[in-house]
Amino acid sequence: TASNQVNIVEVGPRDGLQNEKGVIPVSVKAELISRLGRAGVQIIEAGSFVSPKWVPQMAGTAEVLAKAERFPGVRYPVLVPNQKGLDAVTSLLAQNPASPPLTDEISIFTAATDAFTRANLNTTTAESLERLAPVTRAALDQGLRVRGYVSVVIACPYSGPVDYARVRDVAKALVDMGCYEVSLGDTVGMGTPAQVSEMLEEVKKSVPVENLAGHFHDTYGTAVSNVLTALEHGIRTIDASIGGLGGCPYSPGATGNVATEDVLYALQGSKYHVAGTKDGTIDLEQMVDIGWWISEQLGRESTSRAGRAIRAR
């Protein structure tokens, strides 16, 4: 049924690659996005328009977007931290008129603690919301969709345990600003299912669950469990990363997002149906191959547990 349809936001090309040490060629990033589209992924976070001084790996996102093979019905959101980022998206779209456009969606981001917002955006949470409001308005005015992220919803690498009332208030502020959805990020990847449950109960007091997404890093091995916990709470959009790539440069020690392959595997035969463009879903075998391919490009093995097991069959 529609209510048990799960949407995956594949964040590998952005969250997955932003933390890499070496330089990843534009051609590899574009190829990753092309392959994900071919495997049936419907929402692919393609990159960021952030300061290259802060996150050098995301330089070249405009070229990546222009180069990647695009598939009908697939969306390619990009991260934008400020007006300058939105201006870059606007000029990319003006220079590359295409139907459908190269992207129709931006993601803005802030955090539940001032310490993390300071590390990630060089400002406080309240100030970041003030700065993001006009950016969101301008994006909506030009017909873009706007998604919001709240980082450190469980624990902060700088200030410790997080007050879930703060998560709730920041999520609500993003929805009030015009975000159609707010993704709740366990940036550190420390959250347990019990903590995620408690956090979601609090956030749901102010934000309808239809407007929420779950974004779990897997540092302590709880990410798949946290995904299932979020689904049981009524969340139907899950951020995941091919091959389990990822990490935030401003969250030291945090590992990648929950692996997309692991989510696909865990939901097989369940009451949930993962939406996608390949026979109505996302092809697990193809995703396993992509997870290995991109990991090999980065000089390592896939960290997806399902990806490793399926490869070893």
Q: Which is nearer to Mg ion, 15 or 169 (CB)?
A: 15
117 binds, among Mg ion, ligand HMG, none (CB under 5 to 8 A by kind): none
Using CB under 6 A, list all residues that contact ligand HMG: 15, 18, 48-51, 53-55, 79, 81-82, 84-85, 88, 109, 120-122, 149, 151, 185, 187, 215, 248, 250
216 binds, among ligand HMG, Mg ion, none (CB under 5 to 8 A by kind): none
Q: Which is nearer to Mg ion, 31 or 239 (CB)?
A: 239
Structure tokens at 77: 């959101």
Minimal distance, residue 89 CB to ligand HMG, in Å: 9
Residue partners of 31: CB distance under 8 A and separation at least 6: 68
Minimal distance, residue 147 CB to ligand HMG, in Å: 10
120 binds, among Mg ion, ligand HMG, none (CB under 5 to 8 A by kind): ligand HMG
Q: Which is nearer to ligand HMG, 55 or 177 (CB)?
A: 55
Rounded CA-CA distance 280/271 in Å is: 15
Q: Closest Cα to residue 44, out of 241, 298, 286?
A: 241
Backbone Cα Rg of the chain: 18
Q: Which is nearer to Mg ion, 189 or 276 (CB)?
A: 189
CB 16 within 8 A of CB 257: yes
Q: Dihedral sign for Cα 288, 290, 291, 296, please.
A: positive
Amino acid at 206: S
Let me know if 88 is exposed, middle or buried by CB neighbors in 10 A (0-12, 13-18, 19+): middle
Rounded CA-CA distance 1/3 in Å is: 5
Rounded CA-CA distance 93/31 in Å is: 20
Q: Is 248 a catalytic residue?
A: yes
151 binds, among Mg ion, ligand HMG, none (CB under 5 to 8 A by kind): ligand HMG
Minimal distance, residue 257 CB to Mg ion, in Å: 6
Of the residues 213, 248, 266, 284, only one is catalytic, namely 248
Minimal distance, residue 15 CB to ligand HMG, in Å: 5
Closest residue to Mg ion, judged by C-beta, is 15
Residues noted as catalytic: 248
